């Protein structure tokens, strides 16, 4: 291996601290070509699909990408704005606002697990700024090997090529942090006050294959704990909320109950009003803006539901920025 050196190093250079903010990522645009490129990188990650590489390469490139790219492009177009990807816009705002909150000796970089800006480019941005201590904070509050674990892989793959390895702090989860529970509870309460308290509050998290949970991924337990802590803070009883999981992919069993099934069944149980929140995401994305707020809303209304409201993620809310900033060097 050829290691990256310090060609422009000077002993008199001011040593800085670096903060890497990471998240899922987004295609460069909603056209089919860029969506296909993004999906290929995402679905080629062995943390996402644990199938023998040769078999999965054939399935992915011959079947999945040739069909899913077109459908996904349509979905991305439905949420794209004049500013671009809502996910990227929010993340860039978060980066800027956190930078304003931190001391002058901090440099802040944004790196996406898939797509641009990449984790590799973000880390090299910090390296070039002479950051000898780097902290990594993801916008996924809950650890899963499929998200935070994959981000750690990408960080490690880049830094192991450096000749001068920095001090590294990696925050793998903050799902039960009291301040996060407070912020999410306040967001939900605000929605209750605006739209009225629903008959059922649905906590919907991105799902993972059940097999991963059985093999030791703690994600399911972390999600359940977040839901319980928020429900306790809002003084909800067990009949007033439910935890479900979205975005199942492929034929195997994933974490249940599936959000789509919940939305179809609630009206049959006499539930006419729901509000949905996705605490597993710090920033809104295709899953929340399209799958939850459009697709699952249709499932609920088609089944006879009357009132559906999606509660947006914390995004670049000022309180979220303050909270994320407080995680740095703590």
Task: Indicate whether 222 pLDDT > 90.
Answer: yes
Q: pLDDT grade, residue 330 (50/70/90)?
A: low
Residues 85 and 25: beta-carbon distance below 8 Å: no
List beta partners, residue 23. Answer: 112
pTM: 0.95
Q: What pLDDT is recorded for position 277?
A: 98
Residue 261 has which token pair? 């099934």
Q: What is the pLDDT of residues 104-139, one digit of tens each?
A: 999 999 999 999 999 999 999 999 999 999 999 999
Q: What is the spatial distance between Cα 169 and Cα 134, in angstroms, rounded to a whole number? A: 6
- Give me the chain's average pLDDT, please: 96
Average pLDDT over residues 47-64: 94
Q: What pLDDT is recorded for position 15?
A: 86
Instruction: Classify the C-alpha dihedral 292-153-43-108 as positive or negative.
Output: positive
Task: List domains and CATH numbers for the chain.
Answer: 16-174+319-327 (3.40.50.1400), 178-311 (3.40.50.1400)
Q: What is the spatial distance between Cα 155 and Cα 82, in angstroms, rounded to a whole number? A: 31
Lowest mean per-residue pLDDT among 34-43, 49-58, 90-99:
49-58
Q: Which residues contact 183 (CB under 8 A, 6 or more apart)?
A: 314, 317, 319, 320, 323
Percentage of residues of the chain with pLDDT beyond 70: 99
């Amino acid at each position: 291996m050829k290691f990256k050196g310090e060609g422009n190093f000077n002993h008199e250079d001011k040593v800085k601290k670096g903060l890497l903010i990471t998240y899922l990522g987004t295609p460069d645009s909603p056209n089919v070509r860029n969506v296909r490129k993004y999906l290929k990188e995402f679905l080629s990650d062995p943390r996402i699909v644990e199938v023998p590489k040769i078999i999965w390469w054939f399935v992915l490139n011959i079947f999945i990408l040739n069909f899913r790219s077109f459908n996904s492009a349509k979905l991305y177009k439905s949420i794209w704005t004049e500013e671009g990807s809502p996910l990227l816009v929010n993340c860039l705002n978060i980066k800027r606002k956190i930078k304003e909150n931190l001391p002058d000796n901090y440099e802040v970089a944004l790196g996406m697990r898939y797509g641009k800006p990449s984790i590799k480019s973000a880390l090299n941005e910090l390296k070039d700024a002479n950051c000898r201590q780097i902290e990594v904070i993801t916008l996924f509050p809950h650890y899963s090997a499929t998200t935070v674990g994959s981000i750690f892989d990408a960080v490690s793959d880049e830094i192991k090529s450096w000749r001068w390895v920095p001090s590294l702090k990696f925050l793998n989860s903050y799902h039960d942090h009291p301040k996060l529970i407070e912020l999410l509870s306040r967001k939900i309460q605000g929605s209750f006050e605006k739209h009225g308290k629903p008959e059922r509050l649905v906590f919907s998290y991105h799902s993972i294959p059940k097999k991963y949970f059985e093999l030791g991924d703690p994600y399911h337990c972390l999600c359940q704990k977040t839901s319980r802590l928020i429900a306790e803070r809002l003084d909800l009883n067990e009949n007033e909320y439910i935890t479900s999981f979205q975005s199942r992919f492929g034929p195997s069993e994933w974490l249940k109950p599936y959000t789509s099934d919940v939305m179809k069944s609630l009206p049959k149980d006499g539930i006419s009003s729901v509000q949905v929140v996705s605490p597993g995401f710090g920033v809104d994305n295709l899953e929340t803006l399209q799958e939850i707020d459009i697709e699952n809303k249709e499932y609920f209304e088609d089944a006879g539901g009357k009132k559906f409201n999606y509660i947006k993620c914390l995004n670049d809310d000022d309180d979220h920025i303050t909270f994320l900033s407080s995680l740095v060097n703590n």
